[in-house]
């Protein structure tokens, strides 16, 4: 553990600083923004799945809550976008908190089923409440403005996403190496041992579930404002699976793995467009090969290979 | 008054009466051993006292307070620590982090302060790291301070569990077969370690099959057989008891 765990963060920040000056056109800037947004969501999800060892197959549902809060509340009720974002995060957090206690009495497959159901319900709600949400067609999202300054265009959103990503990586690194983070990892490693040393296991599971749900909701709001339009696809089952795949491919319980997983899986579909119709097959094959040869995920496998722990 | 008092304790799993009407008390500061043939209910008794199982009937009193049926984390707050017969080490963490997690209740566990790298919290964590390293040296794991838990041999992991329990600064420590699976040399070392722990003022309760170690260390011994209390007393008393001899060697008809 002689390695400074923050070296990766400095590299990420350096890349983020240089990137806007080397990217050839706005297509790549857009891709970079979506990578960064996904990375923040995946960081939160990895704290839950990788570090605390609790699966969530409904996380896109929380993303949807944030996104639709930012779309619906300003449009229909005239709320300020910032207030709508906070309200979305609180709603997602509250829903997670209320459901977490019964949900975390479950383990393994049952927990997966329960969170899966939660995500699907949220998705059905936004699809069905068409008067408010535009139904399957989605709805436009008003621009985000703060103190008379309107945030719009790739340039603004790039720097916002860059700052959010850097802060999230920093906060995640701090968290895992703290009494709270150790308790989380301990209840993953041995639930009974962590109970015996005094960890209130259920409380910790609830806390990290709520936190990652709020993370997802805020990033859902950011996505909605950035894209300017929301559709129920943002909150659907496939998106939940995509987020979990990013965690697994990048590396469970790896902060930098979350970033790498999000970056790769956001870029991969773009890189595969030349396969015309076969891209999903190639995409799936790459995922399978990754899991066969690097079951621990990219970053932990490579870190072990080159002999430096994270 | 005794530190721990157990009265008429029983637990039934369906029709199996794993522990039946067991009563005993443990004074503060002693080494107390629980022995008995395989399946006698020793680990079940530990699980009852440390809150893993809820008793069917009976009472457990710690320092005058009834603790029967309380959750393990509540018992941890009352100074009760334990190790496990089948290792319960967090293999996803470093060795020293396993020890540090033992100090969980003594630390500031705030999520936001942690995420924001709160200076006071970091400073305390740094102190704890040094304290945990010291504990690892105390249990004889000085060579593993920077090791990953999943790279350590079995004997070392047994001691790591003891170090984690000691990080709680407990009043009472329950050791479930600390010498099981160890070679004779390691057994002697664990023997000495348990003595050191007891001398530091912690009340030790021990389940162990190694009779030499039990006789050597224990102030008092409880003998269980088929979930029932066979006898209780000093090493010399227990050794002379014909019921104990019968339980271990088989009675002559």
Record: contact B100-A182, CB cut-off 8 A: yes
Tell me: pLDDT of B120 over 90. Answer: yes
ipTM: 0.92
Phi/psi for A56 (5° steps) reads -135, 120
Record: contact A179-B164, CB cut-off 8 A: no
Record: contact A178-B125, CB cut-off 8 A: yes
Query: Choosing among B92, B113, B163, which should be mutated to test the A contact, i.e. which has the most A CBs within 10 A?
Result: B92
Per-chain mean pLDDT for chain A: 92
How many angstroms separate the CA atoms of B205 and B220, rounded?
10
Average pLDDT over residues B44-50: 95
How many angstroms separate the CA atoms of A206 and B90, rounded?
20
Give the pLDDT of residue B158: 95
Contacts 24+ apart (CB under 8 A), B245-249: B247/B36, B247/B37, B247/B223, B248/B37
Neighboring chain B residues of A205 at a CB cutoff of 8 Å: none
Record: contact A196-B111, CB cut-off 8 A: no
Record: contact B109-A180, CB cut-off 8 A: yes
Neighboring chain A residues of B171 at a CB cutoff of 8 Å: none
- The chain B residues in contact with chain A (CB within 8 A) are 50-52, 71-73, 76-77, 81-82, 84, 88-94, 97-98, 100-102, 104-105, 107-111, 113-117, 121, 125, 146, 148, 164-165, 167-168
Query: Choosing among B46, B54, B73, B113, which should be mutated to test the A contact, i.e. which has the most A CBs within 10 A?
Result: B73
Tell me: pLDDT of B243 over 90. Answer: no
Structural tokens at position A247:
């965690």
B52 SS3 class = coil
Distances (CA, A) of B8 to A39, B23, B45, B55, B222: 57, 5, 12, 10, 14
| Strands annotated E in chain A | 139-140, 144-146, 149-151, 229-230
Give the pLDDT of residue A305: 83
- CA end-to-end span of chain B: 42
Q: Which 8-state DSSP code applies to residue B7?
A: E
Neighboring chain B residues of A172 at a CB cutoff of 8 Å: 115
Average pLDDT over residues B80-85: 95
Per-chain mean pLDDT for chain B: 94
Average pLDDT over residues A290-305: 88
Record: contact A183-B114, CB cut-off 8 A: no
- Assign A101 a pLDDT band (cuts: 50, 70, 90): confident
Neighboring chain B residues of A50 at a CB cutoff of 8 Å: none
Higher pLDDT among residues B109 and A276, named by residue = B109
Tell me: pLDDT of A4 over 90. Answer: no
Q: What angle do CA B103, B106, B109 make, to 5 degrees?
A: 95
Neighboring chain A residues of B52 at a CB cutoff of 8 Å: 192, 196
Q: Residue B79 forms beta bridges with which residues?
A: none
Tell me: pLDDT of B166 over 50. Answer: yes
Give the pLDDT of residue B253: 43
Record: contact A179-B148, CB cut-off 8 A: no
Phi/psi for B8 (5° steps) reads 50, 40
A23 SS3 class = coil
Average pLDDT over residues A57-79: 96
Tell me: pLDDT of A1 over 80. Answer: no
B82, closest residue in chain A (CA to CA): A196
Neighboring chain A residues of B72 at a CB cutoff of 8 Å: 192, 195-196
pLDDT in tens, B193-211: 999 999 999 999 999 988 8
- Assign A152 a pLDDT band (cuts: 50, 70, 90): confident
pLDDT in tens, A160-173: 999 999 999 999 99
How many angstroms separate the CA atoms of A294 and A248, rounded?
10
Neighboring chain B residues of A175 at a CB cutoff of 8 Å: 111, 114-115
Q: Is residue A49 a contact partner of residue A252, using CB atoms and an 8 Å limit?
A: yes
Average pLDDT over residues A189-208: 96
High-pLDDT (> 70) share of chain A, %: 98
Give the pLDDT of residue B245: 85
- H or E stretch covering A254: none
Tell me: pLDDT of B252 over 70. Answer: no
Structural tokens at position A77:
């009720």
Neighboring chain B residues of A185 at a CB cutoff of 8 Å: 90, 92-93, 97
- Assign B118 a pLDDT band (cuts: 50, 70, 90): very high
Give the pLDDT of residue B66: 95
Record: contact A192-B84, CB cut-off 8 A: yes
């Amino acid at each position: 553990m002689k390695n400074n765990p923050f070296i990766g963060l400095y590299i990420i920040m350096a890349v983020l600083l240089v990137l806007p000056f080397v990217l050839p056109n706005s297509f790549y800037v857009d891709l970079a923004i979506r990578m960064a947004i996904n990375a923040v969501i995946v960081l939160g999800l990895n704290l839950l799945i990788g570090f605390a060892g609790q699966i969530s197959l409904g996380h896109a549902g929380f993303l949807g809550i944030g996104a639709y809060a930012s779309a619906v509340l300003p449009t229909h009720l005239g709320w300020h976008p910032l207030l709508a974002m906070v309200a979305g995060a609180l709603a997602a957090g509250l829903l997670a908190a209320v459901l977490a206690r019964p949900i975390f009495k479950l383990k393994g497959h049952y927990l997966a089923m329960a969170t899966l159901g939660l995500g699907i319900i949220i998705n059905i709600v936004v699809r069905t409440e068409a008067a408010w949400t535009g139904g399957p067609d989605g709805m436009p999202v008003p621009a985000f403005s703060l103190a008379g300054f309107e945030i719009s265009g790739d340039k603004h959103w790039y720097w916002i996403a860059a700052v959010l990503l850097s802060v999230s990586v920093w906060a995640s690194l701090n968290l895992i190496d703290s009494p709270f983070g150790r308790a989380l990892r301990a209840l993953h490693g041995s639930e009974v041992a962590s109970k015996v040393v005094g960890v209130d296991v259920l409380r910790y599971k609830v806390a990290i579930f709520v936190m990652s749900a709020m993370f997802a909701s805020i990033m859902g709001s950011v996505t909605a404002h950035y894209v300017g339009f929301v559709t129920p696809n943002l909150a659907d089952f496939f998106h939940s699976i995509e987020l979990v795949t990013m965690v697994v491919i990048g590396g469970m319980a790896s902060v930098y793995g979350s970033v790498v997983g999000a970056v790769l899986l956001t870029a991969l579909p773009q890189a595969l467009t030349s396969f015309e119709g076969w891209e999903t097959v190639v995409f799936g094959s790459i995922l399978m090969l990754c899991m066969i040869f690097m079951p621990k995920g990219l970053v932990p496998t490579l870190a072990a290979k080159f002999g430096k722990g994270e | 008054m005794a530190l721990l008092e157990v009265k008429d304790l029983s637990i039934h799993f369906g029709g199996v009466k794993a522990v039946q009407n067991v009563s005993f008390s443990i004074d503060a500061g002693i080494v107390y051993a629980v022995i008995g043939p395989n399946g006698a209910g020793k680990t079940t008794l530990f699980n009852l006292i440390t809150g893993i199982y809820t008793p069917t009937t009976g009472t457990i009193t710690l320092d005058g307070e009834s603790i029967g049926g309380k959750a393990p984390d509540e018992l941890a707050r009352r100074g009760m620590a334990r190790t496990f017969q089948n290792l319960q080490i967090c293999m996803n963490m470093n060795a020293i982090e396993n020890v540090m997690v033992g100090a969980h209740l003594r630390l500031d566990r705030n999520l936001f302060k942690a995420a924001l790298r709160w200076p006071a919290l970091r400073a305390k964590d740094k102190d704890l790291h040094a304290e945990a390293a010291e504990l690892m040296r105390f249990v004889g794991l000085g060579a593993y301070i920077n090791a990953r838990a999943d790279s350590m041999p079995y004997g070392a992991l047994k001691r790591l569990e003891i170090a984690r329990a000691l990080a709680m600064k407990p009043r009472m420590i329950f050791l479930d077969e600390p010498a099981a699976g160890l070679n004779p040399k390691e057994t002697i070392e664990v023997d000495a370690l348990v003595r050191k722990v007891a001398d530091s003022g912690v009340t030790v309760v021990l389940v162990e099959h190694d009779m030499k170690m039990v006789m050597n260390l224990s102030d008092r011994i409880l003998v269980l057989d088929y979930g029932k209390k066979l006898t209780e007393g000093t090493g010399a008393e227990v050794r002379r008891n014909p019921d104990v001899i019968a339980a271990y060697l088989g009675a002559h008809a």
